[in-house]
Amino acid sequence: MEFRRPSLFLFLFINQVFISVQSKEQVLLDMRASGSELGWLTLPYENGWEIVQTVVNGSLYYTYSVCSIESTEQDNWLRTTFIQRRPGTTRVSVELRFIVRDCNTFDGASVACKETFNLFISEADADVGTNFRKGQFRKVATIAPDEVTRGRVLKVNTETRTVGPLSKKGFYLAFQDMGTCVALLSVRVYYKTCPSTVQSLATFPETVADALRGVEGACVENAVSQATPRIYCTAEGEWVVPVGQCQCLSGYETTGDSCQACKPGYFKPSESSELCQVCPDNTKPSMAGATECQCEEGFFRSPSDPPTSPCSAPPSAPLDLTSTTLSAEGRLQLSWSPPLVTGGRSDLTYSVVCEHCDGGLCIPCGEKIHFEPGSTDLQDTTVIVTDLDSHLNYTFTVEAFSGVSQYSTERPISTITTGLDYTDPPKVTLIHLDDRSPSSLSLSWTLSRRPPAHISHRYELMYRRKDDDGERGVTTYRVLILEKNSVQIDDLIPNTTYLFKVQALSPDGSPGSYSMEHEFHTSPAEFQIQNNSTMVMGAVVGVAVILLIVVAVLLLRKRRLSSRGRGGPEDPYFSTDQLKPLSYVDPHMYEDPNIAIQKFVTEIDPNAISKQKVIGVGEFGEVFRGVMKTPVRGEVAVAIKTLKPGYSEKQRQDFLSEASIMGQFSHPNIIRLEGVVTKFKHAMIVTEYMENGALDTYLKDRDGEIPSYQLVGMLRGIAAGMKYLSDMSYVHRDLAARNVLVNSNLECKVSDFGLSRVLEDDAEGTYTTRGGKIPIRWTAPEAIAYRKFTSASDVWSFGIVMWEVMAFGERPYWDMSNHEVMKAINEAFRLPAPMDCPSAIYQLMLQCWQHDRSKRPRFTDIVNILDKLLRSPESLKTIADFDPRVSIRLPSTSGCDGTMFRSVPEWLESIKMSQYNESFARAGITTMEQVLALRHEDIRNIGVRLPGHMKRIAYSILGLKDETSSLSVFAV
C-alpha cells in the first residue's frame, strides 16, 4: 500500500527516469561453490537423495540426485544447511538448476515415475542441526522442468522462486522428491540490493531491493537542496525517479558527482547548477572558491548592481556648462555635455542647484525660481530655469550622479555664474503721470523687466505739444537723455496736452524701441486765477512749501546728504503728507448752489463747443463726444453731459453739483472738468474725453487679453485717484468699475461725482430698509447697515473694483440676489479669487473686505502696495488658488439644484459665450455629455482661441463635473 502512488508514478515515468545502476546480488548460499562439502541432510538416510558426481556438458558437478521410480509412495527429502537471513531482507530468491529424466525413457516404470519435485522452507531463529522435522516445513512451490532429458544430451533447467516474507534469523530450504529422476546441479540463495549511489549531487546508501522503496539521501559536500533528496529502489535493484535537486554552494561548481571550489580568477555568486564565471571587468583577481570578485581600487558596484556586473567608476563632472537667455521673460536654458568619465554606467543623472554667491558666501536661491522639468534626477543634459530676476546674477551648479556616486569623496560638479542676458534693452510699457502743475509734468515709467544690477540703462524721452504740428509738416520733439526712470519736465504751457514717448538705451547706447505715445495735460492756470479763495489757499500752501523747503534744506545739510531731487512724489521731504491738499467743499454748504458753481467751475462759451456723437446716457440726459475750441490748446476732444429739456430748477442744481465737485479736483486719475455751460438754455458739463469709455465694458470686451501686470497698473491709477479723493476728505460712495473711465493710454480715471447719483442715478442702487438707494454689491456692510460712508467704505468698494478688474468685468457675486449677497457677507463669506489673479492682489482685496473698517488698508497703503508689486513684476507670478468648485456661483454652472443644461446653446448662453454656438455645432458637439468629455485641446480645436474664453469654458466644464460643490467655498 505504501508504494502505491510512487509505483504508479514510477510506471508513468520509468522510461524517462531510468537510472542505469546495476543491481547487486548478495549470495547467502551457493551449492556449487561449496563443491562436495555441502553436508545437507537427506531423509530417509541412504535411500533417496545422494551426492553424485556428474559431468554435464563437459563440466564436473557435485549434484544431489534421486531416481526412485520403481515403487510408488516415495517421500525423499533433502534439507540445506541453516541459511542466515541478512537484516533488512524479507525476501530471498532461490535459483535452481536441475535435470529431470523423461519417465517414458524407463520401461515399465511409468506408473510410479514423476517429473516434478517440491520446494519447502522452514524458518528458525537458530540452527537446529540434524533435528530435521518435515512438519515444520511449508511448501513454497512445485518445481517442474521446462524440458526433460530423454537421451544422452542432458537438458538443464533453471527455475527461480522468490521466498518470503521472512522474519526469523534464518531458514532452511528442503526439496521433496516423490518419485522423480532428478539431479540438482545448483542451488543459489540470494537477495538483490540497489547499490550505494550519487545521483544529482545526492548520495544514497545501498538499499535492499525487495519491493519499491523510497530512500532519502544527502547532498554531497558543498551542495545543498531545499527539500531532502529522495529516490526509489525497485524490487529489481534499480534506482528510479530521483526527487529534489542538490546544487553546489556559491563559490563551488559541479564537477562530476561532486562540488569543487571555483578556480582563482573565477567566481560563482549563488547556489545554482551553473558553472563558475570569469571575474568581470574592473575587479581584482579572486581566490579559489570566490563567491564574488572584489572591485579594483577606485571602482564600485551600486547596491542594485548584481555581483556578476563589472565594477564602475563614479562619473566625472559634466562638461561645457553654458547658459542661454530665452526670449520668454525670466527664462534661461542651462545645457551641458555628459561627463568624460561615465564610469561605464548608463544610469547617469544630473541635479542643478541655484545659489546667489557673493565673496565666496553662497545662499540658496529659494523657491522663487523654478526648473523645468525639475532640478534633480535629470536624464537630459538641459534644464530650463524660470522666474529669474533680470537684475540678479545666479550661480548654477550641475552635478553628475550615477549608481556609484555615493562611494566617491569628490563631487563631480560644473558651475556657472550667469544672469539673464537680454541683448536688447527692456521695453517701456507704461508712462505714469505722477504729478502735474500748470507748468510742469512729473512722469515715471515702468519697464517690461528689471535690468540686471550691473547694467544701468539710460532713457531717451521725446515730447512735444500735441497741437504743435511744426513748420512745413516737420514735427519737432524735444529729446532728453535721462539716467533714471522718472523725470519732471518744467517750463510747460498751462492747460496744454503734451505727447511723450520713452525708450530704454542699452549701456552701449543702442536703443530699444519706443513706448506707445502717451498724452498728459498740464493743469489749467485759469483755475487758480479765477478763484480768489483758491488763490488764497494757494498762497498759504506756497508759504508752507517755502517753509518746508527751508526746513528740508537745513535737514539735508545736517545729514550731509546731497540730493538733486526735484521734489517729486518720491521725495521724502516733499511728500503729500506734509503738503496736505485742500479739503473738498460740499456744494450743499452754500445756500445758493449757483455760488458753488461759480466758485469752482469755469464757464465755457457754448459756441466753443460742438457735439459730435452720443456716447452714453446719464440720469439727466445724453452724453456726447465733441470738441472744444480753446485759445491755447486749439481743438480738444471732450465729453459733453447734457441736461434734458423740461428739467426743474432742483434737477438743474443737482446736475451742476457734479461739476462743482469735479471742479475742485485736479489729479491725473480723476476725470478732469473742462468747464460748464450754465448761461445757455441747455446746461452742459464738459469733461476730458476718455476714448475707451467705462472700465467695466472695456474689460468685458477684452476678456483674458490683458496681462495681469497691466491690470494691476490700471488698479494703481484708480487707487491713486481714490487716495487723492480721500486726502481731500471726499467720500465717493459709488466706486465701481462702471464709474471708472479709461483713456487711449489705458489710464483710469474715477468719475461720477453727482450728489444725488448714489441715491437715484445708479442702476445698481437698491432701496435699503432705511429707504436710501445703495449699490449693495459694492458697498461696505456698515454703509448698508447704518449709512456709515467713509473713505474706509470706499476702500471696500475699491476691493470690489479690484475683483471686477481682475475678473475682466465679471459681475460681483454673479447671479446672487442683493439679499443673498448681504446675507453671505454678514456670514463672513467673501468673493473667491478670480481666475489667474495674482495671489498678492487677492490678498489685498481680502484686506479691503475686512469687516472691521479700521482694519482695512488706507488708499495711501494701497497705492504703496500696488507700486511695490509693479516694481517687481515677479511678485505677481504667484497665482491665487482658483477653486473650480467656486464656479457653483458662476453663471457657468448648472445652477444650485444641480440640474443639467438642456442644450449646448443654453449652456453657452449661461456663460456668455453664445458666440461659439456655431463653432460647437460645426464640431458636432451637440449634447451636454459631449461637452463634459471635452479636453483643453478639443476646446481649442473647436475654434476657441482667446485665453479668457478658453478658461471660462474649461472652468465651466469643471464646475459642471463637480457635483459636490458647496456654497461656502469662499468663506474667509
Is residue 745 part of the contact set for ligand AMP (CB under 6 A)?
no
CB of 470 vs ligand AMP, minimal distance in Å: 29
The one among 21, 293, 431, 694 contacting ligand AMP by CB under 6 A = 694
Q: Which is nearer to ligand AMP, 92 or 673 (CB)?
A: 673
Per the CB < 8 A criterion, the answer to whether 122 and 196 are in contact is no
* Contact flag: residue 741 with ligand AMP (CB under 6 A): yes
Give 689 or 955: the residue with its C-beta nearer to ligand AMP.
689
Instruction: Identify which range of 173-181, 209-217, 272-280, 688-696 contacts ligand AMP by CB under 6 A.
Output: 688-696
Q: What sign has the CA pseudo-torsion 572, 577, 581, 582?
A: negative
Any contact of residue 527 with ligand AMP (CB under 6 A)? Answer: no
Among 61, 299, 655, 689, binds ligand AMP (CB under 6 A): 689
Binding-site size, ligand AMP (CB under 6 A): 14
Cα(622)–Cα(454) distance, rounded to whole angstroms?
A: 56
Residues 159-198 that bind ligand AMP (CB under 6 A): none
Q: Choose one: 59-67, 371-379, 684-692, 792-800; the region binding ligand AMP (CB under 6 A).
A: 684-692
Rounded to whole angstroms, how far apart are CA atoms 286 and 616? Answer: 97
Site for ligand AMP in 643-672 (CB under 6 A): 671
**Per CB under 6 A, 690 contacts ligand AMP:** yes
Considering only residues 556-585, where is the footprint of ligand AMP by CB under 6 A? none
What is the rounded distance in angstroms from the CA atom of residue 510 to the CA atom of residue 424? 8
Q: Which of 216, 174, 213 has its CA nearest to residue 192?
A: 213
Q: Find the radius of gyration of the CA atoms of the chain.
A: 58
Contact call for residue 676 and ligand AMP (CB under 6 A): no
- In the bound state with ligand AMP, the residue whose beta carbon lies nearer, of 165 and 616, is 616
Q: Which helix (H) or strand (E) holds 945?
A: none
Which lies closer to ligand AMP via its Cβ, residue 63 or residue 751? 751
| Residue 925 engages ligand AMP in binding (rule: CB under 6 A) | no
Contact 585, 596 (CB under 8 A): yes
Q: Which amino acid is at 801?
A: V
Q: Which is nearer to ligand AMP, 229 or 693 (CB)?
A: 693
The DSSP letter of residue 670 is B
What is d(CA 699, CA 678) in angstroms, rounded to the nearest whole number?
Answer: 35
**Using CB under 6 A, which residues numbered 370 to 399 contact ligand AMP?**
none
Q: Which of 179, 229, 668, 693 binds ligand AMP (CB under 6 A)?
A: 693
Closer CB to ligand AMP, residue 683 or residue 694?
A: 694
Active-site residue 734, yes or no?
yes
With respect to ligand AMP, which residue has the nearer C-beta, 199 or 687? 687
Minimal distance, residue 885 CB to ligand AMP, in Å: 35
Q: To 10 degrees, the CA torsion angle through 177, 179, 184, 187?
A: -20
C-alpha cell at 946: 482667446
Grid cell digits, residue 547: 517753509
CA distance 938 to 926: 14
CB nearer ligand AMP, residue 671 or residue 888: 671
Q: Based on the shown chain and the rule CB under 6 A, indicate whether residue 687 belongs to the binding site for ligand AMP.
A: yes
Residue given cell 522435522 in the structure block: 133
Neighbouring-strand partners of residue 202: 199, 219
Whichever of 75 and 691 has its CB closer to ligand AMP, that residue is 691
Tell me the window of 202-210, 690-698, 783-791, 942-950 that interacts with ligand AMP (CB under 6 A). Answer: 690-698
Q: Do residues 625 and 612 lie in contact, with contact meaning Cβ atoms separated by under 8 Å?
A: yes
Is residue 639 near ligand AMP by the rule CB under 6 A? yes
Count CA within 13 A, CB hemisphere, residue 284.
Answer: 12
Q: In what order do the strands lie in the sheet with 202-204?
A: 197-199, 202-204, 218-219
State yes or no: residue 618 binds ligand AMP (CB under 6 A).
yes
Q: Which is nearer to ligand AMP, 390 or 797 (CB)?
A: 797
Per CB under 6 A, 699 contacts ligand AMP: no
In the complex, minimum distance from the CB of residue 908 to ligand AMP, in angstroms, rounded to a whole number:
27
Which residue of 444, 751, 850, 894 would you call a contact of ligand AMP, by CB under 6 A?
751
- Should residue 616 be labelled a site residue for ligand AMP when binding is judged by CB under 6 A? yes
873 binds ligand AMP (CB under 6 A): no
Q: Of 534-542, 627-635, 682-690, 833-841, which part binds ligand AMP (CB under 6 A)?
A: 682-690
Report CA-CA distances (Å) from 799 to 705, 782, 831, 849, 872: 22, 15, 10, 7, 21
CB distance 66 to 59 below 8 Å: no
Report residue 897: phi and psi, to 5°: -85, 0
Residue 752 touching ligand AMP (CB under 6 A): yes
Q: Which stretch binds ligand AMP (CB under 6 A): 13-21, 86-94, 448-456, 687-695?
A: 687-695
Give min distance, CB of 962 to ligand AMP, in A: 37
Contacting residue, 623, 699, 737, 890, with ligand AMP by CB under 6 A: 623
Alpha carbon 155 to its chain's center: 97
Q: Which three cell numbers stand for residue 28?
A: 547467502
Nearest to 445 by CA among 972, 956, 871: 871
Q: Closest CB to ligand AMP among 345 and 777?
A: 777
Question: Which of 654, 734, 761, 794 is flagged as catalytic?
Answer: 734
Distances (CA, A) of 894 to 810, 948, 957, 958, 967: 18, 20, 10, 11, 13
Q: Least distance in Å: CB of 690 to ligand AMP?
A: 4
Choice from 287, 615, 967, 969 touching ligand AMP (CB under 6 A)? 615
Cell output for 601 = 467751475
Burial class (CB in 10 A: 0-12, 13-18, 19+), 43: middle
Dihedral Cα 937, 943, 948, 952, nearest 10 deg: -70
Pick the stretch among 56-64, 271-279, 439-447, 610-618 that binds ligand AMP (CB under 6 A). 610-618
**In angstroms, what is the minimal distance from the CB of 637 to ligand AMP?**
9
Q: Give the pairing of strands 277-278 and 319-325.
A: unpaired
Contact residues for ligand AMP, defined by CB under 6 A: 615-616, 618, 623, 639, 671, 687, 689-690, 693-694, 741, 751-752
Active site residues: 734
